[in-house]
Amino acid sequence: MRILDELGDELSRAAHDAEGRRGAGQARSLRRTVLFALLGLLTATGVAVAAAAIIKRGDPLPTPRGSDVPPELTPRAGTAVLNGLNVTAPDGGPVWDVRTSRSRTGAVCATVGQVFDGELGIVGLDGTFHALRAGAADACSVAQQDGFTLAGARGFRGRSGTTGITVVSGVAGRGVRTVRVAAAGSSRPLQLGPGRAFLAIFTGQPDAVRPRVTATLAGGGSRTLRFADTGQTLAADPSGGAPWAVEATPARRPDLRCVVGNRTKGPDSPTPSRYLGLSTAQVPVRCGPRGTAFVATQRFVPYVPRVGVPYAFFWGPNVSRTIVWGATGGAQKVTVLGASAKVAVDRATGAFMAVLPGQVDPRRLSVRIGNRTLRGTTAVGRRGQRLATPPVPAWRSVASVLAAQSQPDPFRLIAGTVEEGADAEDVAGGPAWSIRTWKARIDARTNAPRGYGRDLLCFAVGQRGTGNSLREPLDGGRTRAVGAGQPDGRCNGPDWLATHPAVPAVLTYVDDPGALEPKPVRVVVAGLLGDNVRSAELLGAGAPRALALGPHGSFLLVLDPRFAGADLRVRQVRATGAVRTSRSEVSEAACRIGSPPVRVADPDGGPTWIAGIGTTSASIVQSIRRPSQRGPSPKTAPCRYVGRLVGGRLASVADGRAQVYPGPGSAAVGGTGANFLSPGHPVIVEVRSAADQTQRDTGPTTPAQIARRTLPGRTTITGIALKSVTSITLRTPRDVRTLVPDPRSGVFLAVYDGPFYGGEIVATSHQRNGRTVVKRVPLSRR
C-alpha cells in the first residue's frame, strides 16, 4: 500500500535519525511485501418408560407450507421408514428414533423424534405427544458414499434455560463401516439402522455437550464432524451451564509457561444483565517454571467495571466462583483436596482448571499433582514476578451488584403529575384501552444533560387491568405493566412540542405472533401533541377522524385491524392557526420486497422467514451516503433483507411481544454485497444469532415452543452468492445442510432455533465449474 510505504519511509528516516545514524546509505526504504490479515470486527437419569398411561396425545404438529420448503427438502410419500434405533433419553419419555425417507429430488431425508404407539413425534414439555407427519423432514441431503450424508446435534428444550437434551443423529454413507460419538469425556460406537441412521442422546445443550461423530470408512480412513466442539479443554461449571476453556498461553520469558482460562458463552454466560459490552468471566494469566507444577487458587466475585479503570483480566458482573488453575509438571493426575471438584487437564500442555461454587473458601483447598501437594498460589506473574497472596473477597450475588449499579431509566416520574386521558373501546373485545400522561425529569444518573429546561411530558397506553393499572398485551396471553414510572414511557419536552408536530405512535397488535399467519386484531394510535394545539385529526384511516384531545394534547384511538400498514398521519391546528402534519415512523422504507424472496419455514411454525433483494427509499439512501461520495444521489438503491412474511408484507416480530413491525428484521441497506463477490470469494455469509432475552426467566411462552421443545431465540445464516455457485454446504454447530441459492438473486437463507454460542460455521460453495471454495466464520468471541 503506497501510503504505508510513504509513512514507513518517514518513520524509518526519523527512527534512524533518532539513533544518530543518519546518512543516505543508512536510511532504509520500507517497501512492504507482507499482505494483511483482517481482524474480527468486535471484539453467549431418568429411566425411560413406555409411559403410555401418562402421555396424552395431541394434534400432529403442522407441516410447513409447501411454498416454504423446496422440493429437495420435501419427503416423497411412501418412502418413510423408522430405523428402530430406540434410544432412551436421560430425561425419560418414549424412546427416540430416526425416520429416513427420500425427497422428491431423490435426496436422503431424516427426521428425529420419539416413538409412541409406533408413530414418530415429540412429547412436549406438557407431556402431550404430537406426531411428526411424514410429509416434512428435519433435513435432506444428496447421498454420500464416504462420510456422512446427514449429521446434526439438535438441542431440545428442558424446563430451564440450561437443561434439556442434545440429540446427535444422522445418516451414514454406504462406504461407512462404523460410527462413533464422543462427548462429555467418553466415546462409544453407535448402531446403524436399516436406513443407515444413527442416534445418541446427551444431557445438556449442544454448546455444552460439544459432540463429535467419527465415521470409519470401509475403504480405510475416517471422517470426523465436530458440533460446537472447538477442541479446547473444558472444565465444567458447577451450574451445569456453559463450561470453562483452559489453555496454555505465551509467557514473557522463555523459561516460563503460563495458563489462562475463561468461561465460554452460553445461555447463562455471561451472567444476564443490562450492561453494555459484557464479556464472559476470565481468570488472570498465571505462570510457573517450565517442567514444574504450579497452581493458583482464588475466589472471584462480581463487580462492575468502571470506565477508565484498566484491568488485567475481566471478571465483571459475572457470578462468584472459586477457581483452581495451573499446570502439571507432566501428564499427571490432578486432584483438588478440600472440596468436591472435577479437574480438566489439557494433556498436551499440562494446563488444568477446576471451577467450584463461589461459596467455597479457597483457603481450605489444596491440589495434589502426582505425588506433590500444593496449597494456595505458587504461580508467578507473566514476567516471572512474585505475586502477593490475593485477598479473599466476601461472596456476593450478581443481583446485589447490579441492583446497586444499574443504569436507571432516563425519565424519572414527578409525583402527583399523572393524569388520565379518555378510554377507548377495544375493537378486539378485550378490556378498554386508556392513555395516561405524566411529567418527568431526566434522571441525573444517566448521560442526559443536567438542568434541562422544563419538565418533560410523557404518555403510555395500555389496557385497563386490576386496580388502576395499565397492561400491554404480550404473546401467549401474558401482559406487562405500562404507565407512569415504568420503562418505555414516551416523553417529549414541552418547549419542543410548542414548535414541532409530534409523531404518532402506531402499534399493530396480532392474535398470535407465533402463528404462521398472525392476524392483526387492532391498531392502536396514540400521541401527545402538547398544550399549544387547538384541534387535530387522523388521516389515512378512511375519512378524517377528529381526535379528542386530553391532558397536554394527548389522544388515543383503537382502530379496526384493516388499517394495519396504513399510512397514518396526524394533522394538527396550533393555537397560532398554523397547520402541521406528522406521519408515523415507517421503518418499512429501509428495505421493501423486490423480486420474489427465498422462503424458509420457521422452526416453531411461526411466520415464514424470507430473504431477498429489495429497494431502499430515497430518504434512506440519502442518509447513509458518505460525504465523500460524489455525484447526484440515486433515488433508490438495492438492499438485501431478512425478515418475516406477515400478510404478504415484509415484517419483523419482536421476542415476547404481540405486535408486528413493518419492515425487515435486518437489512444491508444501500447495496446487496454482490459487488464484493469474485470467483475467489464467491459467497458472502452473514450469521445472526440471538437469544430470546424475554425467556430467560419465563420459560417457553407459546404453545409451539411447549409442543416442539424448540430453543428460544433464532440463528439465521444468510448471504449472497455468485450465479456460478450451484449449492452451498453449511456446517454449523448444529448440523450439515446444503442450500441452493436463489437462481435470480443468489440469496440463500437457513434458520435454526436457538442461538449458536461457539465453534464456527464452514460454508463450502460448489461452483458450476466443479471448483469449491471454503469460507469459515468463527462464532466465538469473548
- State the minimum distance, in angstroms, from the CB of residue 619 to other proteins: 11
Least distance to other proteins from the beta carbon of 91, Å?
A: 26
Contact 242, 264 (CB under 8 A): yes
Within positions 487 to 516, which residues make up the interface with other proteins, using CB under 8 A? 491-493, 495-497, 500-503
125-140 burial: b if 16+ Cβ within 10 Å, else e = beebbbbbbbebbbbb
687 binds other proteins (CB under 8 A): yes
Is there binding between residue 594 and other proteins (CB under 8 A)? Answer: no
- Kindly give, in sequence order, each residue whose CB lies less than 8 Å from that of residue 623, ignoring residues fewer than 6 positions away: none
Using the rule CB under 8 A, give the single segment among 180-188, 274-282, 295-303, 389-397 that binds other proteins. 274-282
How near is the Cβ of 44 to other proteins at its closest, in Å? 4
Is residue 16 at the binding interface for other proteins, with CB under 8 A as the rule? yes
* Closest C-alpha among 609, 463, 584, 470 to residue 522: 463
CB of 409 to other proteins, least distance (A): 8
Which one, 29 or 371, has the nearer CB to other proteins? 29
> With contacts defined by CB under 8 A, how many residues of the chain interact with other proteins?
107
10 interacts with other proteins by CB under 8 A: yes
For the bound state, the minimum distance from the C-beta of residue 144 to other proteins, rounded and expressed in Å, comes to 26
How far CA 465 is from CA of 387, 428, 487, 658, in Å, comes to 60, 16, 18, 17
Window contacting other proteins (CB under 8 A); options: 271-279, 343-351, 543-551, 568-576 = 271-279
Whose Cβ is closer to other proteins: residue 100's or residue 492's?
492
Site for other proteins in 613-652 (CB under 8 A): 623-624, 628, 652
| Residue 531 cell numbers, joined | 398544550
Sign of the four-CA dihedral 196, 200, 205, 211 = negative
Note whether 337 binds other proteins by CB under 8 A: no
**What is the bridge-based pairing of β-strands 56-57 and 128-131?**
parallel
Question: How far is it, in rounded angstroms, from Cα 439 to Cα 528?
Answer: 12
537 vs 585, beta carbon nearer other proteins: 585
* Residue of the chain from 291, 477, 596, 778 that contacts other proteins (CB under 8 A): 778
E strands, 184-316, in order: 186-190, 197-203, 212-217, 222-226, 233-235, 244-249, 256-263, 282-289, 294-300
When the beta carbons of 197 and 442 are compared against other proteins, the nearer one is 442
Task: Return the C-alpha cell found at 380.
Answer: 508467578
Among 136, 691, 736, 747, which residue sits at the site for other proteins (rule: CB under 8 A)? 691
Residue 732 touches other proteins, criterion: CB under 8 A = no
User: Which residue of 668, 736, 739, 749 would you call a contact of other proteins, by CB under 8 A?
Assistant: 668
Nearer to other proteins, 40 or 743 (CB): 40
Q: Is 777 in the site for other proteins (CB under 8 A)?
A: yes
CA distance 304 to 603: 37
Q: Sort 388 into a burial class: Cβ within 10 Å, 0-12 / 13-18 / 19+.
A: exposed
Contact code string over 409-438 relative to other proteins, x by CB under 8 A: -xx---------------------------
Of these, 100, 144, 233, 689, which contacts other proteins (CB under 8 A)?
A: 689
Torsion of CA 662, 665, 666, 669, to 10 degrees: -10
Residue closer to other proteins (CB basis): 216 or 486: 486
Q: Residue 550 contacts by C-beta under 8 Å, 6 or more apart in sequence?
A: 419, 420, 421, 422, 435, 437, 556
User: Quick one: 243 or 638, whose CB is closer to other proteins?
Assistant: 638
| Rounded-to-10 torsion of CA 320, 155, 198, 90 | 60
Q: Is 305 in the site for other proteins (CB under 8 A)?
A: no
Q: Grid coordinates 416434512 are at which residue? A: 136
Give min distance, CB of 33 to other proteins, in A.
Answer: 7
Tell the residue number behind the cell numbers 429489495, with chain if given. 614
